[in-house]
Amino acid sequence: MHKYLSEKGFGSRRSIEKLISIKKIFVNNKIAILGQKVSIGDKIKIQQSTLVVDDLSKTHHQHLIYNKPEGEICSKNDPGGRKTTFSALPRLNNLRWISIGRLDINTSGLLLFTTDGTIANQWMHPSNGYEREYMVRIYGKYKSDIEKSMINGINLSDGMAKFKTIAQIQDANNKKWFKVTVDEGRNRFIKRMFEHHGIKVSRLIRIRFGDIILPTDLKKGQYKIVSEL
């Protein structure tokens, strides 16, 4: 059952074992036990979802890239009624989309989704250190010593943080843009780095995650199915 639920996108095998140990998974309306096997036709209830075991062979997973607009939240449901990233994705039968990482409500750009829990965990595990690249527009004075500080590291409230690279880009309207590369996805990480120096970030766009680049022809709010991640 652990492998089956992991392949269906309900988390890693370890996280599923934890749910079983705290009696949060049911098979045919009975509390699941560690090591339990499932058969075709069994009904599994997990995390407010119910699925019927339809095929125990290897699941054919799906993957996509999505260009998130500002104003959308990276959540499946929002009590406030705001639009979520999941609402724009194609519907699935007996599988579910997993967001690989998150972007805050005011950040736009590249998001990755998969139905494969194993792949999702590989992408999100800190030890793998997948690079993220962003375009950042700022307001405020920017000096060369700030750049040095951001590369060497800044002690934020939740620990040391630093950029791998930072390069300034001047656009046609003379606005200050930067291309920034990081290897972690800490909450509001980039904005807090600039705010530490009294600089406000007015736009933040993720343009790359690992070796996957946001396609220039993919409009905001649109997705593209890909064969692999």
Instruction: Give the helix ranges, DSSP H, for 59-141.
Output: 117-124
3-state secondary structure of 171: coil
Largest Cα separation within the chain, whole Å, is 64
Catalytic residue among 42, 55, 78, 104: 104
Asked if residue 150 lies in contact with residue 167, where contact means CB atoms within 8 angstroms, the answer is no
Residues 89 and 9: their CA atoms lie apart, in Å, by 15
Residues 6+ apart with CB under 8 A from 108: 67, 68, 69, 70, 203, 204, 205, 206, 220
Is 42 part of the annotated catalytic residue set?
no
- How far does Cα 196 stand from its chain's mean position? 25
Residues 207 and 112: their CA atoms lie apart, in Å, by 12
Tell me how far CA of residue 84 lies from CA of 78, 121, 204, in angstroms. Answer: 7, 22, 18
How many Cα atoms within 13 Å fall on the side-chain side of residue 85?
29
Instruction: Give the helix ranges, DSSP H, for 9-111.
Output: 13-21
Give the neighbor-by-neighbor strand order of the sheet with 30-31. 30-31, 25-27, 43-46, 49-52
User: Catalytic residues, which ones?
Assistant: 104
